[in-house]
Amino acid sequence: MSKRTKQETTEFIRARLGALPYEPDPRDYLVAQLPPEMAATLPDESLTLLAYAPSEFPQDQGELGLCGGWCGSSVYEMMKALLTGRVIPAGFEDFSAGWVYEKSRDILCLPDYIEGTNNFGVVKALLGYGAAPEHLCPTDTDRPYKYVELPGAKEAAAENKIVAFYRVPTTPSAIKAAMLGWTLDPGYKMPDGSNGMCPVVTSFPVFKNAWADALETGIVHDVLPGDELLGYHAGPQIGFLIRDGVKYLVNFGSWGKDVGMTLLGVPGVFLIPESYMLSDAYVLKMAQTGQEPETILETIIRWIKILIGMIFGGENR
């Protein structure tokens, strides 16, 4: 792929920024900040969650502001994999970014002439509506954007709800601690019995010069005075590391496989400096503590019920 010009880079990024600013509600449950002595014990690197990246991601969301939907569906998909012990296969069982996007907009009562959504709407949608499978609600990536909800989508989504969400302080130590499961039990354990790790739903401003070469290198730079704000993007933070002496968060993108970097075999990844500002952050709770992972037989029975519902009933919008 030939290197994009500065103007092409700006146009590519600007067309994909659909995270709307949101002032957090003080009534939201806020996970605790780590005390300094505990923050000092955080590891320098954690890349475990990359092994649970959805198998079909990162898809390119296209020139549409659906990044919030992609962020929410990919985080749910990763946590579903952690809960059940298997990566969700592409095709029949992966989850719809379009569903999460549309349901979040319904919750926020956004008019049609405003494109995008915010993460508060996204996590509320996963709590109230759940996540519908992609084959029952195919996500459009082209203009003019069309939303298609097939019979059975509502019933299938009801089987895939989170049980709670929590706001995370946007400090690096709080993001890392939440990711490692230090400040919240997400409802499952890691295979080795350690604290359940979870990707963090975030949004952040995107500045022109800070992201100038990120599409090619995957490295985002610190924001300098006078930089131009292009908009806001939503994406999950799934790890952290130190490279060339700089501390980074690992962001899982929705801009396709041919941008960013490939890290541990996962393409479409961006490294964002810890010092870069985040607009908001949320973690999800998938199941009540102690709930056993779903067995293969239980999965088959659940999907047979969904198929029966698709054949004999359901809604179509």
> How far is 207 from 172, CA to CA, in rounded Å?
19
Handedness of CA 258, 263, 269, 273 (dihedral sign): negative
Amino acid at 203: S
Tell whether 317 is covered by a domain: no
Domain span at residue 53?
6-307
What pLDDT was estimated at residue 291? 44
Tell whether 168 is covered by a domain: yes
pLDDT tens figures, 160-196: 999 999 999 999 999 999 999 999 889 999 988 999 9
What pLDDT was estimated at residue 317? 41
Tell whether 313 is covered by a domain: no
| Residue linked to tokens 């296209």 | 62
pLDDT tens figures, 4-40: 898 999 999 999 999 998 877 777 788 888 888 999 9
Tell whether 273 is covered by a domain: yes
pTM (two decimals): 0.88
> How far is 83 from 186, CA to CA, in rounded Å?
9
User: Domain count of the chain?
Assistant: 1
Tell whether 293 is covered by a domain: yes
Is residue 136 within 8 Å of residue 120, measured between CB atoms?
A: no
CATH number at residue 145: 3.90.70.10
What pLDDT was estimated at residue 290? 43
**Higher-confidence residue: 177 or 294?**
177
Residue 46 above 70 pLDDT? yes
Tell whether 1 is covered by a domain: no
> How far is 224 from 302, CA to CA, in rounded Å?
52
Tell whether 314 is covered by a domain: no
pLDDT tens figures, 101-123: 999 999 999 999 999 999 999 99
Tell whether 315 is covered by a domain: no
